[in-house]
């Protein structure tokens, strides 16, 4: 680490200086790259310096009296100081640059357990409420111009200027169609001008940065680049919506809703689809906290602090998804029973003279708790169906893309990141899930590094089975200390890279692993333990029973 850190600093300093000198006259992508390197790289070096003095100084046996090393307490204090110093400047940089950097912030926002609180507080805002990029009226002008160029005039009778959602590549507005187009309410997704060009440049900048600083991230980033660049064709997204809707709704329509696109009104940069009534998941949870706080006569900040203290003290245990669903169901039942039992006594008190002393007591029923365990189980099951049964799945299931509907269903929106995998890849992934669930190190290694169609075709320098197993488990099942060895995210990936450098990533697994990480992130945010190998095991077994029964029977033995 020490030698690589010096190499990184020298190379980065030279690159940044040269880039800054040539800034004037550059095209937009190059200018954005310079801005990224000039702002982000010095911050990165300061974090790496603390890490080097802590981990590598101690590992190399550098005496403490030299002042060159930091023990864990000193390193944690140094990290906290850096978080306090740079969280807001990084936020401002992300909001000004937007593009792929905003997309990354959305992903990080789901990992309460990995992202420092100073960064997490604003990362969560990027899920659906980042500052609008387009000027007032610009989105409407783009939509009308695009639709008129396709022969559709006077499409909208009403248009809400305030966006109901702002994402990394555009924003969403509620509108009402004119009578000749049906007259009902829709949502219109409008792509920001020039965003595709900026997005492409940003991904290349991130890949170049990782190639120098964190080479283990390059292969998966290249797969993400290929997948993300399909997100800029809203006609393709409309096709995705229609396809997934037609397959998922017949089986899961009682629990989820996928909106229908108006394909005749969709262009490359404008997507018109049915409105999904309700609130975004994050907003619904926030409203519930406020209602509970009012009912208890306290504030949401106090309630949240109480929850944090319970989690930190260990008095609030972390259930799995089924336990969480049952626990919430029991609590809601008990709340209703308690309210029913106390209501007559409250009424009697309010009718008595004693109410003159303290005022009447409230007889309103307690707000029911959102059953996060049941909702998360639905998301896990629906995505298992998409991955194992049909091979077409949404690779971006973050909380900003999930709506709590009034009828109790989950609205699933934003199908720009749809990935398709053939039956061979699904079968290999099903075998991997079973191997991870059983802790079968050798089988995990074989499946990850065997050539397609028997495996994912990944390659590493040392072909270390233990590294293959740990990475497969980390990305596709859990990130508990027994897997990460007590290291944080970056340290763990650095350690795996040092033991067995990645040459070729398992491309077909990258987007599925992204789904696993996002779903587990939601679980962590809700204080629900989620192990994807256990959660998806039944679906994996069903696929193998149908497509490779001999392997499945052998695996059971």
Mean pLDDT in residue range 244-256: 95
Mean pLDDT in residue range 393-410: 88
Residue 66, pLDDT score: 64
Mean pLDDT in residue range 243-261: 95
Residue 1, pLDDT score: 42
Which residues, in sequence order, are bridge partners of residue 177? Answer: 156
**Would you say residue 26 has pLDDT above 90?**
no
Residue 62, pLDDT score: 66
The Cα–Cα gap between 505 and 470 comes to 14
**Would you say residue 19 has pLDDT above 60?**
no
Mean pLDDT in residue range 51-77: 75
- The more confidently predicted of residues 307 and 385 is 385
Which residue in 386, 458, 388 sits closest to 430, CA to CA?
A: 388
| 40 contacts 93 by C-beta, under 8 angstroms | yes
pTM above 0.85, yes or no: no
Residue 494, pLDDT score: 85
When mean pLDDT is compared over 118-132, 238-252, 339-353, 391-405, the highest value belongs to 238-252
Which residue in 421, 460, 468, 425 sits closest to 443, CA to CA?
A: 468
Segment 444-475, tens digit of pLDDT = 999 999 999 999 999 999 999 999 999 999 99
Mean pLDDT in residue range 114-131: 79
Q: What percent of the chain has pLDDT over 70?
A: 88
Residue 73, pLDDT score: 87
| 388 contacts 540 by C-beta, under 8 angstroms | yes
| 3-state secondary structure string across 65-104 | HHCCCCCHHHHHHHHHHHHHHHHHHHHHHHHHHCHHHHHH
Which residue in 91, 100, 162 sits closest to 125, CA to CA?
A: 91
Mean pLDDT in residue range 87-92: 92
**Would you say residue 7 has pLDDT above 50?**
no
Residue 315, pLDDT score: 53
Segment 94-104, tens digit of pLDDT = 888 887 888 88
Residue 10, pLDDT score: 46
Mean pLDDT in residue range 282-289: 75
Residue 2, pLDDT score: 43
The dihedrals phi and psi of 359, each to the nearest 5 degrees, come to: 90, 160
pLDDT band, very low/low/confident/very high, at 290 (cuts 50, 70, 90):
confident
**Would you say residue 85 has pLDDT above 50?**
yes
Residue 325, pLDDT score: 77
**Would you say residue 28 has pLDDT above 70?**
yes
Residue 336, pLDDT score: 79
What lies within 8 Å, CB to CB, of 463 at 6+ separation is 445, 449, 500
Segment 319-365, tens digit of pLDDT = 777 877 787 788 777 777 777 887 887 877 777 877 777 778 777 77
Range of weakest confidence among 107-121, 289-303, 445-459: 289-303
The Cα–Cα gap between 406 and 128 comes to 20
The Cα–Cα gap between 350 and 365 comes to 16
| 93 contacts 100 by C-beta, under 8 angstroms | no
Range of weakest confidence among 51-65, 106-120, 137-151, 394-408: 51-65
Residue 384, pLDDT score: 96
């Amino acid at each position: 680490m020490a030698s690589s850190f010096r190499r990184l600093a020298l190379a980065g300093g030279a690159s940044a200086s040269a880039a800054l000198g040539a800034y004037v006259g550059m095209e937009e992508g190059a200018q954005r790259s310079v801005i990224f390197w000039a702002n982000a790289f010095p911050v990165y070096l300061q974090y790496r310096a603390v890490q080097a003095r802590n981990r590598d100084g101690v590992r190399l046996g550098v005496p403490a009296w030299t002042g060159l090393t930091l023990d864990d307490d000193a390193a944690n204090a140094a990290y906290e100081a850096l978080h306090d110093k740079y969280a807001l400047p990084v936020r401002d940089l992300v909001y000004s640059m937007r593009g792929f950097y905003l997309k990354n912030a959305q992903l990080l926002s789901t990992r309460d357990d990995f992202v420092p609180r100073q960064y997490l507080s604003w990362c969560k805002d990027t899920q659906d409420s980042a500052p609008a990029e387009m000027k007032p009226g610009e989105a409407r002008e783009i939509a009308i111009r695009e639709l008129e160029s396709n022969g559709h005039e006077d499409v909208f009778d009403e248009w809400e200027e305030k966006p109901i959602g702002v994402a990394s590549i555009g924003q969403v507005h509620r509108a009402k169609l004119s009578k000749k187009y049906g007259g009902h309410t829709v949502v219109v997704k409008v792509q920001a001008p020039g965003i595709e060009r900026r997005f492409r440049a940003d991904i290349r900048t991130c890949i170049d940065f990782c190639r120098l600083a964190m080479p283990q991230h390059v292969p998966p980033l290249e797969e993400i680049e290929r997948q993300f660049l399909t997100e800029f064709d809203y006609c393709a997204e409309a096709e995705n919506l229609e396809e997934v809707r037609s397959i998922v709704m017949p089986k899961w329509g009682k629990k989820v809703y996928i909106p229908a696109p108006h394909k005749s009104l969709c262009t490359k940069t404008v997507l018109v689809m049915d409105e999904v009534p309700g609130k975004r998941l994050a907003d619904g949870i926030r409203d519930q906290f406020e209602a509970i706080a009012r009912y208890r006569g306290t504030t949401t900040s106090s309630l949240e602090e109480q929850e944090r203290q319970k989690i930190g003290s260990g008095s609030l245990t972390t259930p799995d998804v089924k336990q969480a669903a049952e626990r919430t169901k029991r609590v809601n039942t008990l709340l209703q029973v308690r309210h029913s039992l106390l209501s007559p006594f409250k009424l009697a008190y309010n009718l008595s003279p004693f109410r003159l002393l303290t005022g009447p007591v409230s007889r309103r029923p307690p707000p029911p708790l959102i059953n996060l365990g049941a909702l998360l189980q639905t998301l896990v099951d629906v995505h298992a169906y998409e991955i194992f049964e049909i091979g077409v799945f949404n690779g971006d299931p973050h909380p900003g893309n999930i709506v709590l509907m009034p009828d109790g269903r989950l609205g699933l929106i934003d199908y720009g990141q749809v990935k398709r995998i053939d039956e061979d890849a699904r079968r290999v992934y099903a075998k991997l899930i079973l191997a991870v669930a059983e802790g079968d190190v050798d089988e995990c290694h074989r499946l990850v590094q065997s050539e397609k169609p028997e495996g994912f075709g990944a390659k590493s320098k040392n072909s270390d089975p233990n590294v293959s197993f740990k990475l497969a488990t980390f990305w596709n099942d859990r990130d508990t200390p027994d897997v990460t060895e007590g290291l944080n995210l970056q340290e763990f990936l650095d350690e795996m890279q040092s033991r067995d450098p990645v040459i070729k990533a398992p491309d077909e697994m990258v987007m599925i692993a992204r789904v696993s990480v996002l779903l587990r992130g939601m679980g962590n945010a809700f204080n629900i333990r989620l192990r994807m190998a256990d959660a998806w095991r039944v679906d994996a077994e069903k696929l193998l029973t149908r497509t490779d029964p001999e392997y499945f029977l052998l695996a059971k033995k």
